Amino acid sequence: MRLLTLFTFFIVSISFFGCAKAQEEKTNLTQFVNPFIGTAPLTDPSQIGYTPPEGWRVWAGLTYPGSSLPNAMVQLSPITEFGSGAGYEYEDTEIIGFTHTNKGHWNLCNIPILPIQKSSEKPFKSTFSHDQEKASPGYYEVYLQDYKVKVRLTSTLRAGVHEYSFDKSTGRTILFDLGKANNGVSDWKISHSSKTVLEGFQRVGGDKVHFYVKLSHEIESVNIVEEGERTGYAKVNIKDGGEESPVILQIGLSYVSEANAKENLETEVAGKSFEQVHKEAVDTWNKLLSHITVKGGSPKEKELFYSSFYRSFLWPALRSDVNGEFTDQTGKTRQEKFRYYTLPSLWDTYRNKVVLMSIVQPEVTADVIQSLVDKGHQTGFIPTFFHGDHAASFITGSYRRGVKDFDIEKAYEYLLNNAYKEGGTRPHVKEYIEKGYISDPDVKNPHVETKAKAGVSKTLEFAYDDYALAQLAREMGDEEHYQDLIKRGQNYRNVFDPEVNFMRGRLGNGDWISPFNPEYPYYEYMYREANAWQVSFYVPHDMPGLVDLYGGKDKFEAKLDELFTKPWNPAYIARNVSGFMGQYCQGNQPDHEAPFSYYFIDKPEKSQKVIDKLLADYFGIGEHGLAMSGMDDAGEMSSWYTWTAMGLYPLSPADTDYLVTVPVFDEVHWKLGKGKMLSIYNPSKGRELKEIIVNDKKNSTYFISHDLFKEGGEIKLVTE
């Protein structure tokens, strides 16, 4: 009897723990994602660093709460104001439409649609309350109070699904506000070929966005006003009577044709209910989010972590249709063996986000790189975004991490063109090669918005890009270019002035620009969206060399201490430079490497104090706990949080090692391929890093190799 009881207990225990494990594996990680984080304004001058001028909205977050899949063509989100970054601002009280593309960068927001009443007139808008609003990955819901309609939205890669529950089944109308987008609309058209089908396009800049719509209810009439004009719109009136069920609007997009938009819709949505599409979206996000699981940490930290992880995978956006067709840079329709994507926001995201993408989504990464190469076919250069030449870092780092399913020969050829040929991706590259730096003009009384070359920032960034490309040259067996580029990687020294201990602008004749105020920020003079403090620690490929430039460890430490403690002058106002810790700016990208700099003088505990304060006080802040210290910039700010909260950082993204910091969680588990796992443990829960144990052996440096992401393993931190 005793044996039978023990056997029964054993079986029950196995069943219990098996169920528990299965339950753990099925955890809905989307429950921790709050898409509203980053939509709220930053209004407190103590958090901003200055008092914004009247009418200014500091660029805090600029995220959108709507439905999207990872790197999708469709981002279906509410709009409260066009021309406002992501189009949705949390403090607004009226919704003016639901658009189908987004980035959080003042562009896109195409194909605005809004359920209204037949009697409604311009301006079309409805009040709403956050109490009647919900958002989660792949889902958005709101009640439009003026039009008496509950709206639910979900989406696939290339299609959106709207559900409109009107309070009454009479006078139901759907507005296609096609004259509006975040950029100026040059043309639009809409037609209906049957009782339940609409199709058309909207042209904005170089993009022609085609759509195909299928409605669950019959159309009574379509009233088109000023077709093709920015002041125009179309009102689609739904037949009264009949079914009182919600009106379902399914819309497919394509950048090629309406026929492709129809095929996209029919392939991804046909025959599926709203709930089926929503469930598939949740499953897709859970699959991605489950790459990293955590234990410990506060509920707020878990929310910030998974919300940041989520936002790290919304851009770049897919542009290929289900049949493989896309429109290339020349406007030609083509069909290739790879998926075509938009240009990544490389000035922002090369630092951390595309590294995260290369590990979690290597197939997407390969296609994104091949899309860059394809764009290079037209010009002979790999394109950049905004500043620098950071495709060099992105492509090199991805290739060295094992992402190789793209045309590496052409990628390398075009990147060499970037680095050596004038008239392409790198402005002033001829001067840079000849002098080893890029000069700025002698401007009397320069101000924040002075237009020039941003020569210091370009020199520093090109030096890093040269280092990155040198690593690829070595991979390609090109020793000649390796030697030249690795030497050029030292050009950062040419803009360091030892008399003032700052990276400082130079004139064409080599003189230092004077007068010199290291605290004053510029958008484009000497520095790009930064001051001297914020760029003077940017040498991620040669931090020991930078320490020597400052005169050794003690002087470098003193300089870093001052960076994080010297108060920001509240009279220095730059809209996209906000969220300061001393002179350090968390709200913009140029100095996001600086908090890790203490590692290079063997003071990781000082870096950790800075990092912990940034993680705790610069994300999820403001009145509603939904603001960020600066613009998310296509997920870079979010990715910085994701990496840093889990205790790793790709300090030099072209390289294949990661700086180890102390995670905010007790355990972090990366799910790798073939059943392998990389786990990080902080068993004592201390915040001061004393030792790193990798696979039961003491690590000799503060870095761990990417090999751990290939083979799996354990990192145990000894902390106090």
Tens digit of each residue's pLDDT (9 = 90 or more) over 605-660 = 999 999 999 999 999 999 999 999 999 999 999 999 999 999 999 999 999 999 99
Q: What pLDDT, on the 0 to 100 scale, is given for residue 27?
A: 83
Q: What pLDDT, on the 0 to 100 scale, is given for residue 638?
A: 98
Q: What is the pLDDT of residues 106-140, one digit of tens each?
A: 999 999 999 999 999 999 999 999 999 999 999 99
657-683 burial, b at 16+ Cβ within 10 Å, e below that, comes to bbbbbbbbbebbbbebeeeeebebbbe
- Find the mean pLDDT for residues 473-481: 98
pLDDT value at 711 more than 70: yes
Give me the percent of the chain exceeding a pLDDT of 70. Answer: 96
Cα distances (angstroms) measured from residue 519 to each of 504, 531, 582, 587, 609? 12, 6, 10, 16, 23
- Find the mean pLDDT for residues 454-460: 98
CA dihedral 702, 703, 709, 712 (to 10 degrees): -40
CA dihedral 397, 403, 407, 412 (to 10 degrees): 10
Partners of residue 200 on adjacent β-strands: 190, 211
- Find the mean pLDDT for residues 429-437: 98
Distance CA 569, CA 582 (A): 9
Identify whether the C-beta of residue 58 lies closer than 8 Å to the C-beta of residue 575.
Answer: yes
Q: What pLDDT, on the 0 to 100 scale, is given for residue 409?
A: 98
Q: What is the pLDDT of residues 497-518, one digit of tens each?
A: 999 999 999 999 999 999 999 9
pLDDT value at 473 more than 70: yes
- Tell me, rounded to whole angstroms, the distance of Cα 611 from its chain centroid: 20
Q: What pLDDT, on the 0 to 100 scale, is given for residue 59?
A: 87
Cα distances (angstroms) measured from residue 253 to each of 71, 191, 205, 319, 361? 15, 15, 17, 10, 24
501-511 burial, b at 16+ Cβ within 10 Å, e below that, comes to bbbbbbeeeee
Q: What pLDDT, on the 0 to 100 scale, is given for residue 5?
A: 38
Q: What pLDDT, on the 0 to 100 scale, is given for residue 241?
A: 78
Listing DSSP states for 557-597 in one string gives: HHHHHHHHHSPP-TT--BTTB--EETTEETTSGGGTTGGGG
Q: Look-up: residue for tokens 């969680």?
A: 665
Q: What pLDDT, on the 0 to 100 scale, is given for residue 23?
A: 39
Q: What pLDDT, on the 0 to 100 scale, is given for residue 456?
A: 98
Give me the percent of the chain exceeding a pLDDT of 90. Answer: 94
CA angle 697/698/702 to nearest 5° reads 130
Q: What is the pLDDT of residues 535-547, one digit of tens each?
A: 999 999 999 999 9
**With bands split at pLDDT 50, 70 and 90, how would you rate the model's confidence at 323?**
very high
**With bands split at pLDDT 50, 70 and 90, how would you rate the model's confidence at 244?**
confident
Task: Report helix angle 455-475 to 391-400, nearest 10.
Answer: 30
- Find the mean pLDDT for residues 344-369: 97
**With bands split at pLDDT 50, 70 and 90, how would you rate the model's confidence at 374?**
very high
Instruction: Give, for 292, the enclosing helix (H) or strand (E).
Output: strand 292-295
Q: Look-up: residue for tokens 């000799």?
A: 700
Please state whether beta strands 703-705 and 657-660 pair in parallel, antiparallel, or not at all (unpaired).
antiparallel
Q: Look-up: residue for tokens 């430039």?
A: 549
CA angle 325/79/301 to nearest 5° reads 90
366-403 burial, b at 16+ Cβ within 10 Å, e below that, comes to bbbbbbbbbbbeeeebbbbbebbbbbbbbbbbbbbbeb
The two tokens of residue 514 are 């004077």
3-state secondary structure of 286: helix
Q: What pLDDT, on the 0 to 100 scale, is given for residue 197?
A: 98
- Find the mean pLDDT for residues 77-100: 97
- Find the mean pLDDT for residues 294-300: 97
**What is the residue type of 143?**
Y
Distance CA 427, CA 388 (A): 9
**Whole-number average pLDDT of the chain:** 95
Q: What is the pLDDT of residues 329-341, one digit of tens each?
A: 999 999 999 999 9
Q: Which residues contact 170 (CB under 8 A, 6 or more apart)?
A: 240, 241
